[in-house]
Chain A
Amino acid sequence: MQNQTPVPDAKAFETQTLTGRASADAVAEDSIPVVPLKHPVRLVLAVVLIMVALSAAWDVAVNQRYHWDVVLSYLFAPQILAGAGLTIVLTVVSMSVGIALGTVLAIMRLSANPILSTISRGYIWFFRGTPLLVQLIFWYNIAALYPVIAFGLPFGGPSMILGSANVLITPLGAALLGLSLNEAAYMAEIIRGGIGSVDKGQYDAARALGMSGGKLMNRVILPQAMRVVLPPTGNQVISMLKGTSLVSVLAISDLLYSAQIIYANNYQTIPLLIVASLWYLLMTTVLSFFQNKLERRYGRGFDSAPRRSRKSKTRTA
């Protein structure tokens, strides 16, 4: 076997000599002091903005009409916590069903079979084209169209408005149906875009190595599609989390509806909306954190170069 001497990475080699030369110039004995460019407008703007932000924060803190004491007393109220829990359940279930069904729809849409792709197209057209609120109310009132099949027949009809435990099931089912089916349409388009973003050469390479079908998808295509799918999916999860507040129209005691019930009694509208918002903020913050982690995980092999150049930029600046 021929003994090959490793050839140094040409690009790394180039940058090395370039930066090497630059730093050599800087420490040369006849070095000239460098005066960095000043940005006076930027500085003034920053000061003004900090002042505005501080005064706004101060005003919010001292304005009695915010009733921070009320906010604090309801922040961990059992109804609020239960509402937040239900919001999480709605989000997790609808998102899971939405992603699973969306993946199926995306693969159908990319299928060579025209019937499958047309059905997928029609589904997406319908569920993206009608308002989510309308869809939710539609599923809520589905009994009006199909009073016979409803497995929820015992819960159907006007008896829903009563407050028994069984009553909750049908509105919740309607909410889950509406949110999931609507989400699937959006996820299908996101996943289709992700699959389409993978270079065609990757299919060739995987096939040439003897891969086919599910193995090719799972090992080569989907992991690369993930990188493109994740950011918009993170968006979807966050808007789903907040979108679940729409189900308050179906009298489901999610986070927002729980807050509404309380302020309907004590008229502390703003403090309770603040309570709900704080919880929504906390939940979206946690979600964003996990989104970042996942993005880094699936960005491996793609984002290493930009990260390195950013580092060198700060060093020279």
Chain B
Amino acid sequence: MTTAMVEARGVRKNFGVIEILKGIDLRVEKGSVTCLIGPSGSGKTTFLRCINHLEKVAAGRLYVNEHLVGYAERNGKLYEMKERQTARSRLNAGMVFQRFNLFPHMTVLENIIEAPVHVLGRPRKEVVVEAQALLDRVGLGDRGSSYPQELSGGQQQRIAIARALAMKPQLMLFDEPTSALDPELVGEVLDVMKALAEAGMTMVVVTHELGFARQVADQVIFMDGGVVVESGPPEEVLDNPQQERTKAFLSKVL
């Protein structure tokens, strides 16, 4: 059995009295692509943010690369990590957001080299060379000196992917990466993601693009109401769902 990149056991999360995640169990194998699908409010995005500890897990265990996220376990107790430790542990995972969240006051190149230089403390020259290679890889090699606002949504999202990759993460988290894009720009972002999956990157993708899920995912997880309703390979979950709720959701989306 391969080791899991992400393993969740009974993960719970609440905002005040509203329980968003009601016990999530799942595994993401190394080198695999997992797509999280489901209606809005089902907890997909919250779960994804928990993997990166942008949200604190309220109960249950969540492991990334066999390390407990956000807590240190000693003498049968969980100690909440300090902000700095948490920040360090986040370096395992790169994250891509629905609204891109590029730094608007920096050029494209500055966006990409920011964290490698100022968080990892690597020499700027070396990082710039790598950043240029990443820009070429996402098809924007000539846009290094532009500001994000001068680019289209699809271009911004591809830059955001390059920015996350510059930290050489072992895992990439995508939070509805194409939901804020004009329809004709979705393809260019999905192409970059497909290439990334083919290169063997472990990916967890929250998405409404079922075509992408069918084509690229090793595992599709359908969530609703804060629980995993159904999971398995795309041909099972998407084409031959067993649960009524999954069927109802797919019939509305397709």
Contact = CB atoms under 8 A, between A and B. Distances in A.
Interface of A: 1-2, 4-7, 9-11, 199, 201-202, 204-213, 215, 219-220, 223-224, 227, 298, 300-302, 304-305
A222 B195 CA distance: 36
Interface string B57-74: 000000000000000000
Contacts of A223: 105
B91 interface: yes
Nearest to B133: A1
Interface residues of B, number: 54
Nearest to B140: A6
Interface of B: 49, 52, 54, 83-84, 86-88, 90-91, 93-95, 97, 99, 101-107, 114-115, 118-120, 137-142, 147-152, 154-155, 163-164, 167, 182, 184-185, 188, 191-192, 194-195, 198-199
Contacts of A5: 139
Ranked 5 nearest A-B pairs via Cβ: A4-B139, A205-B101, A209-B115, A301-B147, A208-B95
A210 B152 contact: no
A97 to B, nearest CB: 27
A242 B87 CA distance: 46
Contacts of A220: 103
Nearest to A1: B137
A209 B188 CA distance: 24
B191 A208 contact: no
B103 A212 contact: no
A204 B188 CA distance: 24
B106 A301 contact: yes
Given A204-B95, A208-B54, A210-B115, 11 more contacts: A4-B188, A6-B140, A7-B139, A7-B188, A9-B150, A204-B97, A206-B103, A209-B164, A209-B167, A210-B119, A213-B84
B119 A207 contact: no
Nearest to A303: B149
A210 B90 contact: yes
A205 B97 contact: yes
Given A7-B155, A210-B88, A215-B118, A201 B99 contact: yes
B215 to A, nearest CB: 14
Given A202-B101, A219-B114, A301-B104, A207 B154 contact: no
A209 B114 contact: yes
Contacts of B149: 301-302, 304-305
Contact of A2 (B84, B99, B191): B191
A4 B104 contact: no
Contacts of B150: 9, 304-305
B204 to A, nearest CB: 13
Contacts of A301: 104-107, 147-149
B94 to A, nearest CB: 7
Nearest to A13: B152
B112 to A, nearest CB: 10
